[in-house]
Structure formats: C-alpha cells, structure tokens
C-alpha cells in the first residue's frame, strides 16, 4: 500500500524529475498493457507466415511485414510478453537472492561477510553480457534459462547495495535503540533495516531492469533466448538487421526502437525516484 502511494504521489507533485517519471511510467505501462492484452489487440497471428513479404508499413500492416510475411506489429505486441517475462523472473530472482544475503552479510559482518563479498565482487567484476552469454550457453536456449542467466549477473548489484546500506544503518542510533528494547536480530533486520533500504532497492531495481532488458535483447539477438518462430524483440532485431541495407528498414527498426524505449522508460523512472530520494535527504 505504502509502496504504491510512494509511486503514485510523485506523479502528482510538481517537483523536479516529474517529466522523466511521467514519460517512464507511460512507456512502461503501455508495454505492460500490450503484453496483457496481446490476444485482443494483435491484428494477426504473429507466427502466421504470409505471402505478402517485405510489405512496407501501411494501414493493413502498421509496421509492415517481414521476410516471412509475418505482421511486424503483431510480433511487437506478442514479443513484449517474452521480454517482460524474462526480465520479471530475472529481477525477482536476483532480488530474492541478493537482498537477504546483503542484509545478513552487512548486519553480522565477520567471516561470512568477507566470503560473500569476495564471491559477489568477483561476479561483479566480469563483463555482465559475456557472463550471461556463458551461462545461457551452458544452460541451453529457453526463456527461463535466460532469466536465470540474467539474474545471476544482477545478484551482486543488489547484494552490494543492500550490504552497504545495512552497514551504515547498523550504526544508526535507531538500530541501537531497537537493541536496547530487546529486539531480536532477525526482527531488527526485517522491521528496522529493510524498510530503510527499500527505496534504494527500488532505484536499483528500475535501473537494473533497464539494463536487464538490454541484456535479454542481447542474448536473444545472439539466438540464446527463444527458439523461432516465437516472437521476440531481440531475435526479430537480429533477423531484420541484414535487410536494412536492402531498404527494408521496418524489420529491424520497430523491435529496436521498442527495446530502446522500454529500457529508457525504466531508466527514467529510476532516475526520477533517485532524484526524489536525494531531495528527501537534503
């Protein structure tokens, strides 16, 4: 409830970053709506091969058709499902692993903390796309495996952020006060530290979602995510790219612009929340 309020309120308030936020929220909500309503709004079956190949955008095919005569618009609409699904599973996984580990590590410190930090830092120091590629190759192409690969890359991001915040919150008087009233450690973490880390998790979440979208698109561009003919933005971008030179720009253009818009949408929400938070501390 409070989280929702936290998200809605800034939309109404005239404060810096409102434009960013409004833009981001509109883009993200549109894509989400596309994914949910796909069966109803998609004019064609996205995998239906047709005779009308390389048709330019027209009223009949708003985004044209591709080399197999599939309607690009329909593929864009259905493709949003895959990308959102993969990204949602991936971020849920990385939050579910990264946040508790960060809390424990930061709160208790000691050997566990040092070991965990070392592991996380070494994952973090790899280039994320290459790491994701390696894992995806090992696991084999499927959306859920892609999600696992991506989540693996983002666990350290959450872990490091939560651990750092926990470390500094642990030294705050209100945590000491909680100890003074006899609160158990597990409860201190849950009731006193976690709520104070949440806003930052939200920022990292939106920013890393933006990043994860690009990673997902990258993986499927390389053919490591879905198997054809499943509609997928990254894969479609890959398929359409050779035809750019022949003048069939719409094949690659629409998937590409969608990937960019969605990533930007999340990034802007993240920026806006971040700005709001740093305002609050001033």
Partner 1 sequence: MLLEVKNLGVYYYTLSGVVRGAENVSFSVREGEWITFVGESGSGKSTVAHAVINLVPSPGKIVTGEVLFQGKNLLAMKPEELRKIRGKDISMVFQDPMTSLDPLRKVGDQIVEAMRVHGVDDDEARQRAKEILEKVNLPADRLDYYPHQLSGGQRQRISIAIAMAFNPKLLIADEPTTALDVIVQDAIMDLIDEMKDEGTSIYFVTHDISLAAERSDRIAVMYAGELVEIGTTEQIIENPLHPYTRALVESVPDLWKESEVRAIPGYPPDLRNPPSGCRFHPRCPIFKEKAELKGRCDVRGPETLEVEPGHFVACHLYGGA
Partner 2 sequence: MSEPLLKVRELKKYFPVKRSLLEAFRKKEERYVRAVDGISFDIRKGETLALIGESGCGKTTAGRTILRLIEPTEGEIIFDGTDVTQLSQDELRPFRKRMQIIFQDPYSSLSPRMRIGDAIAHPLLVHGLAEKDEAKEIALKMLRRVGLTPEDEFYDRYPHHLSGGQRQRVVIARAMVLKPEFIVADEAVSMIDVSMRASILELLESFKEEYNLSQLFITHDIAVGKLIADRIAVMYLGKIVEMGPIREVLRNPAHPYTMALIQAVPSIVRRKKEKKLRITGEVPNAAEIPPGCRFHPRCPFADELCRGDEPELVEVSHGHFVACHHPLH
Binding site for partner 2 (CB under 8 A): 172-174, 176-184, 187, 191-192, 195-196, 198, 280
Question: Any contact of residue 130 with partner 1 (CB under 8 A)?
Answer: no
Please state the closest distance from residue 15 (CB atom) to partner 1, in A: 6
Taking CB under 8 A as the criterion, which residues in 209-268 touch partner 1?
A: none
Please name the residues in contact with 67: beta carbons below 8 A apart, sequence gap of 6 or more: 53, 54, 239, 240, 243, 248, 251
Name which of 39 and 182 has its Cβ closer to partner 2: 182
> Cis (ω within 30 of 0) for the bond into 229?
yes
How many of the chain's residues bind partner 1 (CB under 8 A)?
3
Q: Is the dihedral of CA 91, 97, 102, 107 positive or negative?
A: positive
Report H helices in 109-231.
110-125, 128-139, 143-170, 173-180, 185-187, 194-221
Find which of partner 2, partner 1, none residue 187 binds, CB within 5 to 8 Å per kind: partner 2
Name which of 18 and 170 has its Cβ closer to partner 1: 18
The span from the CA of 224 to the CA of 13, in Å, is 43
Please state the closest distance from residue 177 (CB atom) to partner 2, in A: 5
Q: Which H/E stretch holds residue 234? A: helix 233-240
Find which of partner 2, partner 1, none residue 177 binds, CB within 5 to 8 Å per kind: partner 2
Name which of 41 and 177 has its Cβ closer to partner 2: 177
CB 250 within 8 A of CB 225: no
CB 146 within 8 A of CB 220: yes
Please state the closest distance from residue 273 (CB atom) to partner 1, in A: 16
Question: Any contact of residue 15 with partner 1 (CB under 8 A)?
Answer: yes
Please state the closest distance from residue 35 (CB atom) to partner 2, in A: 32
CB 64 within 8 A of CB 58: yes
Find which of partner 1, partner 2, none residue 246 binds, CB within 5 to 8 Å per kind: none
Residues that bind partner 1 (CB under 8 A): 15-16, 279
């Amino acid at each position: 409830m409070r989280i929702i309020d936290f998200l809605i309120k800034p939309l109404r308030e005239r404060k810096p970053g409102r434009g960013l936020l409004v833009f981001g929220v509109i883009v993200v909500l549109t894509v989400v709506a596309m994914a949910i309503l796909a069966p109803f709004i998609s004019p064609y079956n996205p995998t239906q091969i047709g005779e009308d190949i390389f048709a330019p955008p027209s009223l009949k095919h708003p985004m044209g058709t591709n080399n197999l005569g599939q309607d690009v618009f329909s593929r864009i609409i259905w493709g949003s499902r895959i990308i959102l699904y993969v990204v949602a599973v991936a971020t849920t996984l990385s939050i579910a692993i990264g946040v508790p580990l960060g809390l424990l590590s930061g709160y208790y410190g000691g050997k566990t903390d040092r070991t965990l930090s070392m592991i996380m830092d070494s994952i973090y120091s790899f280039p994320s796309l290459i790491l994701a590629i390696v894992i995806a190759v090992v696991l084999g192409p499927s959306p859920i495996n892609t999600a696992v690969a991506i989540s693996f890359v983002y666990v350290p991001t959450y872990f490091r952020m939560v651990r750092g915040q926990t470390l500094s919150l642990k030294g705050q008087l209100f945590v000491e006060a909680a100890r003074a009233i006899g609160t158990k450690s597990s409860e201190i973490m849950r009731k006193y530290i976690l709520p104070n880390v949440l806003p930052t998790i939200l920022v990292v979440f939106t920013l890393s979602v933006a990043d994860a979208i690009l990673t997902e698109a990258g993986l499927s561009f390389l053919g490591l995510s879905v198997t054809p003919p499943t509609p997928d933005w990254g894969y479609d971008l890959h398929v359409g790219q050779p035809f750019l030179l022949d003048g069939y720009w719409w094949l690659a253009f629409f998937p590409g612009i969608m990937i960019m818009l969605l990533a930007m949408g999340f990034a802007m929400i993240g920026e806006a929340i971040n700005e709001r938070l740093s305002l609050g501390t001033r």
